[in-house]
Amino acid sequence: MESEKLTFSIAVSGKGGTGKTTITALLVRALIKKVNGPILVIDADPNSNLNEALGININNTIGDLRESFLKNKDNLPPEQSKEDYLNYLIQSSIIETDDYDFIAMGRPEGPGCYCFINNILRKILDTISHHYPLVLIDTEAGLEHFSRRTTRDLDLLLVATDPTISGARTAKRIKELCKELHINIEKTLLIVNRVPPSMKERIDEVIKASGMDYLSMIPEDPLIQQFNAEGKPLFDLPSSCIALKAVDNLVNGLILQLITT
């Protein structure tokens, strides 16, 4: 029997390059120490790079574990079940920092099947994540996650878009697909990212085209570009960074309110 669900789960989605990883990293930065206990951060993009944005090294992704599991699962000591062994492998891939724990899903080595990774992601969401007050998931581009129904039972889905009508239409499709697939998402909100000062007035049209409830916009921030160009982790952005300030505001506003109620 699963224990009562106390975890609040947030996934960041959106089409490629809309800022999912950036927003997730800024959310981690804005949310640590504001929730009661460590956050579980999951990089569910096979092209994992959230760890770089956070400034941590990863040894093993879940994809890497598949090889060990397949190789050893039939030669386990009698007291260890396959399930125990898998749990052990998953636990050993969790990176612990002072403020959050981190898992990268990665991709299967060789011509492997993503089912393994998706099953493990489901398992993590259904079990391990319950030990954390908050789970934050950076998803892959496109809708693959949703069509494979790995991201389920989310409290909050944040859909990122650039400030264009076509971006907003993609955001709308993501929301519609979630509905069609009966994915259980409590709330879906739009974030319009990379908004240059000249676009602020036109943002209403973008929100309207998305047909979604609007959470916030994040300004285009040259400092983010600079950190990326210099290979510096976004986690170390100064608190004066305008994009971080925008994320801080949305955390202190609606997000903390949703988490604590």
Q: Which stretches of the chain are assigned E, i.e. beta strand?
A: 8-14, 39-43, 95-96, 100-104, 134-138, 154-161, 185-195, 213-219
Q: Which stretches of 20-123 are assigned E, i.e. beta strand?
A: 39-43, 95-96, 100-104
Enumerate binding residues for Mg ion (CB under 5 A).
Answer: 20-21
Q: Tell me how far, at minimum, the Cβ of 27 lies from ligand ATP, in Å.
A: 12
Half-sphere CA count of 148, side-chain side, radius 13 A: 18
Enumerate binding residues for ligand ATP (CB under 6 A).
Answer: 14, 16-22, 45, 141, 193-194, 218, 220-221, 224-225, 228, 243
Nearer to ligand ATP, 14 or 38 (CB): 14
Q: Tell me how far, at minimum, the Cβ of 21 lies from Mg ion, in Å.
A: 3
* Residue 16 contacts which entry, Mg ion, ligand ATP, none (Cβ below 5-8 A, type-dependent): ligand ATP
Nearer to ligand ATP, 7 or 193 (CB): 193
Nearer to Mg ion, 9 or 139 (CB): 139
* Residue 220 contacts which entry, Mg ion, ligand ATP, none (Cβ below 5-8 A, type-dependent): ligand ATP
Nearer to ligand ATP, 25 or 39 (CB): 25
Triad 46, 52, 56: Cα angle to 5°: 110
Distance from C-alpha of 9 to C-alpha of 248, rounded to nearest angstrom: 18
Kindly state the DSSP code that residue 149 receives in the 8-state scheme.
T
